[in-house]
Amino acid sequence: MNYFLRKLSFYAVALWAALTLNFAIPRLLPGNPVDILLAKLQQRGETVTPETRKAYALLLGGDSSDPLWIQYWDYLKNLAKGDLGVSVSYYPAKVSDVILTSLPWTVVLVGIATILAAVLGVLLGAVVGWKPGTWLDSLVPSTTLLAAVPYFWLALILAYLLARVLGWFPLQGGYDVVLTPGWNAEFIGSAIQYGFLPALTIVLASVGGWLLGMRNMMVSTLSEDYILTAEAKGLSPRKILRSYASRNAVLPSVAGFAISLGFVVSGSVITEQVFSYPGIGGRLLGAVTNNDYALMQGVFLFITLAVLGANLLVDLLYGLIDPRTRART
Amino acid sequence: MTNLKPANTTPVADAAAADPAAPAARARSGWRSLLPTMTPWLAIGLVLVAGIGLFGLLGPLFVGDPQQIRDQGLTPPSAEFWLGTTQTGQDVLAQLAYATRGSLQIGLLVGVLATVLSAFFGIYGAYRGKFLDDAFSLFTNVFLVIPGLPLVIVISGFVPRESRGLWTIAVVLAVTGWAASARVLHAQTLSVRQRDYVAASQVSGERPWRVIVVEILPNLLPVIASQFVFAVIAAILGEAGLSYIGLGASNSATLGTMLFYAQNGFALSLGAWWWFVPPGLMIALFGMGLSLVNFSIDEVINPKLKNLRQHRKRARRALRLERDLAQRARRTPVKETDR
């Protein structure tokens, strides 16, 4: 099968698995989310009609009048229409609207931070791996400390040092609250200022992994015969580093993007909590504490969708970069 | 007939009696090739892991009651309280000791569970091959791309707080954390499965589970060890994150719950660094120690890496020699011009 087709079908299966998990989790676990949710809705002053009950039961289970496969089919149909229910904690906003207002914050933050960390780590790794045995190289094992640091704790430390003690950055929030969100220089500047610390946290915590992976690949690439050939041809070391060693050594890092992205997203969910960032992670945690199950499931679906999409993109790119993956049937 | 038995056994016994050291030495060197070489980084790693392990194991015996409330809230570290006190006057050091124990406990538990899961899906799937392998691989890859922590948060969110015990959290973390190591084990098993002695034992009619346990598993031990270490790190980090947002096991004391209480007690805005720095540092140092140990295990799995380290050592020595020579060369001409 074609490489691209194979990848597309894999992600289709992964998406289906995520949807099914989302359907199964509330039905498999103890507790009765529908009743809790409807009680909350009634507190907010909405009259609960049998239709509302049925809609939530479809999302969360608890309705035993229909056989499971009909519930499942209706659930998929509702999702296809983009109907994720009404959020209780942001009542009467729809779940999809709540998510759509917070999604850009996270996508921009995590996206920029991850790309920065990857580029920085790969560049540093290439330089460090290029000359094994220097003092820089002997420092490499200490990057494991950075990799083992809990994201949110690093966030706490940075917030304490840079925001509270030195006062360089604001401690909490996503932008200056006196400004109204919009595409003007003032607002974007404020968003960058507020987003700096969360981004720094993600970069610091994830750069070590990239560095280590790239360095190891670099060192083993250097012992390949084609490097020796390049040296024997009298090419300048700079050219060998750039077009011979790095280009081949970077491939596993690109391929490993999938695993690291899931990791970064997981880390950033809790980091957002530390900074009260208005992103999707904060919404997820807010939904959990308020028993807002519909929002919780919606956020999980969107995060999964975003991660799967990013991975698909990277995999397709990888197929373009490395022809060998396409050749393997 | 009666002669046969002694005749058969004597040569073996003789050999053993004549040179008892030989087989023992061979056995030892065989095992030694499974053990990592001692390097400074491995030493640091072992000291960190053992130190923190002992602190978690024995620390609670020497400190006071972590829950005891005093009227000296938020005092910085002093002779009486080495790590200061919390807002309600609880001894941070005592809390740290109990919390370390709790975190290590859940780390080990999840590590074992996740390793068992990954061994099943990775090794068994790769050994059976064909359809089962494809199905297991697909299953593993799907679990790999679904982001773990959001899934854990959603699952924990649905479980009512009363029924959220230590085992629930451990199982949830294990179920969401086994996929990456299953893939590694899968790749390794595929290469081991091709070897002749595996084929030989299959042909001689061994049952599948025996081939896996006796022929394949011993060759995978270093890989499994390294994956186990990773699983423990991931579990401790995951549990800390979960507890920090208040979704951990109810009435458990871990490093994550300590950070949760520190956050809720406004440790950050009150500047009580002695309250929130130690728990995270403990996790980071333990994780670093385990990763350093893992570096050395990796050298056992992939001897190329060991050559690499020796190559690096040689390169360093060569660099030093070159510098010395250059210095000497510089000194000599100076002397000559002086003359």
**Residue A13 sits at the chain B interface (C-beta within 8 Å):** yes
For residue B215, give the nearest of B233, B230, B237, B199 by alpha carbon. B199
Whole-number pLDDT of residue B16: 41
Residues A287 and A192 placed together within one structural domain of the fold: yes
Q: With a cut of 60, say whether residue A329 has pLDDT above it.
A: no
Residues A106 and A48 placed together within one structural domain of the fold: no
With tokens 């289709």, the residue in question is: A12
Structure tokens at A93: 């906003």
Distance from CA of B17 to the nearest CA of A (A): 47
Please write the tens of the pLDDT for every residue from A199-253: 888 888 888 888 888 888 887 888 888 888 988 998 888 888 888 888 888 888 8
Final residue in a domain of this structure, among A81, A110, A142 = A81
Residue A25, in any domain of the structure: yes
Q: Choose the closest CB to B146 out of A18, A31, A152.
A: A18
Structure tokens at A12: 């289709």
Residue A89, in any domain of the structure: no
Residues A62 and A100 placed together within one structural domain of the fold: no
Whole-number pLDDT of residue A103: 83
Burial (Cβ within 10 Å: 0-12, 13-18, ≥19) of residue B54: exposed
Most confident of A56-65, B238-247, B330-339: B238-247
Where residue B7 falls among pLDDT bands split at 50, 70, 90?
Answer: very low
DSSP code per residue over B231-258: HHHHHHHHHHHHHHTT-S-TT---HHHH
Where residue B218 falls among pLDDT bands split at 50, 70, 90?
Answer: confident
Do residues A319 and A328 touch, judged by C-beta distance below 8 A? no
Which residue does chain B place closest to A34, by CA atoms? B158
Residues 224-243 of B with CB under 8 A from A: 233, 237, 240-241
Contact B280 A288 (CB under 8 A): no
Do residues A244 and A267 touch, judged by C-beta distance below 8 A? no
Distance from CA of A296 to the nearest CA of B (A): 7
Cis peptide before B303 (omega within 30 of 0): no
Where residue B151 falls among pLDDT bands split at 50, 70, 90?
Answer: confident
DSSP code per residue over A25-67: HHHHSSS-HHHHHHHHHHHTT----HHHHHHHHHHH----SS-
Residue A88, in any domain of the structure: no
Residues A282 and A155 placed together within one structural domain of the fold: yes
**Residue B290 sits at the chain A interface (C-beta within 8 Å):** yes
Residue B91, strand partner residues: B85
Number of domains in chain A: 2
Do residues B309 and B299 touch, judged by C-beta distance below 8 A? yes
In what helix (H) or strand (E) does residue A8 lie, and over which residues does it extend? helix A3-28
Q: Specify the CATH number for the domain of residue A227.
A: 1.10.3720.10
Whole-number pLDDT of residue A66: 67
Final residue in a domain of this structure, among A50, A81, A112 = A81
Do residues A309 and B147 touch, judged by C-beta distance below 8 A? no
Contact B159 A147 (CB under 8 A): no
Please write the tens of the pLDDT for every residue from B165-209: 888 888 888 988 888 888 888 888 888 888 888 888 888 888 888
Final residue in a domain of this structure, among A23, A52, A81 = A81
Q: Which residues of B touch A258 (CB under 8 A)?
A: 144-145
What is the domain range of residue A71?
A: 1-81
Phi, psi angles (nearest 5°) of residue A94: -80, 150
Where residue A63 falls among pLDDT bands split at 50, 70, 90?
Answer: low
Contact B144 A300 (CB under 8 A): no
Whole-number pLDDT of residue B28: 54
Whole-number pLDDT of residue B32: 63
Residue A173, in any domain of the structure: yes
Residue A294, in any domain of the structure: yes
Distance from CA of B286 to the nearest CA of A (A): 8
Mean pLDDT of chain B: 79
Contact A17 B291 (CB under 8 A): no
Q: Choose the closest CB to B284 out of A148, A270, A289.
A: A148
Mean pLDDT of chain A: 80
> What secondary structure letter does DSSP report for A161?
I
Which residue does chain A place closest to B236, by CA atoms? A150
Residues A176 and A31 placed together within one structural domain of the fold: no
Contact A150 B151 (CB under 8 A): no
Residues A289 and A177 placed together within one structural domain of the fold: yes
Residues A103 and A50 placed together within one structural domain of the fold: no
Residues A68 and A103 placed together within one structural domain of the fold: no
Please write the tens of the pLDDT for every residue from A32-52: 777 777 777 777 766 777 777
Considering only residues A258 and B149, tell me which one the structure prediction assigns the higher pLDDT.
Answer: B149
Residues A136 and A205 placed together within one structural domain of the fold: yes
**Rounded Cα–Cα distance for residues A30 and A42 (Å):** 23
In three-state secondary structure terms, A182 is: coil
The reported pTM is 0.80
Among A273-287, B61-75, B169-183, B286-300, name the one with the lowest average pLDDT.
B61-75
Q: With a cut of 50, say whether residue B112 has pLDDT above it.
A: yes
Residue A76, in any domain of the structure: yes
In what helix (H) or strand (E) does residue A194 lie, and over which residues does it extend? helix A185-222
Interface A-B: count of C-beta contacts within 8 A: 181
CA distances from A236 to A132, A220, A244, A299 (A): 18, 20, 11, 51
Structure tokens at B302: 């992939």
**Residue B73 sits at the chain A interface (C-beta within 8 Å):** no
Residue ranges of domains in chain B, CATH in brackets: 48-322 (1.10.3720.10)
Residues A77 and A110 placed together within one structural domain of the fold: no
Please write the tens of the pLDDT for every residue from B225-284: 888 988 998 899 888 888 888 888 877 788 888 888 888 877 777 778 888 888 888 998
Whole-number pLDDT of residue B114: 93
**Residue A305 sits at the chain B interface (C-beta within 8 Å):** no
Rounded mean pLDDT, B37-47: 82
Residues A44 and A148 placed together within one structural domain of the fold: no
Q: With a cut of 50, say whether residue A303 has pLDDT above it.
A: yes
Distance from CA of A95 to the nearest CA of B (A): 15
Which residue does chain B place closest to A157, by CA atoms? B277
Residue A90, in any domain of the structure: no
Residues A48 and A130 placed together within one structural domain of the fold: no
Q: Which residues of B touch A204 (CB under 8 A)?
A: none
Residue A113, in any domain of the structure: yes
Where residue A160 falls among pLDDT bands split at 50, 70, 90?
Answer: confident
Percent of chain B with pLDDT strictly greater than 70 = 85
Considering only residues A179 and B186, tell me which one the structure prediction assigns the higher pLDDT.
Answer: B186
**Residue B221 sits at the chain A interface (C-beta within 8 Å):** no
Do residues A121 and A208 touch, judged by C-beta distance below 8 A? yes
**Rounded Cα–Cα distance for residues A290 and B174 (Å):** 26
**Residue A149 sits at the chain B interface (C-beta within 8 Å):** yes
Whole-number pLDDT of residue B116: 93
Please write the tens of the pLDDT for every residue from B152-163: 888 888 887 777
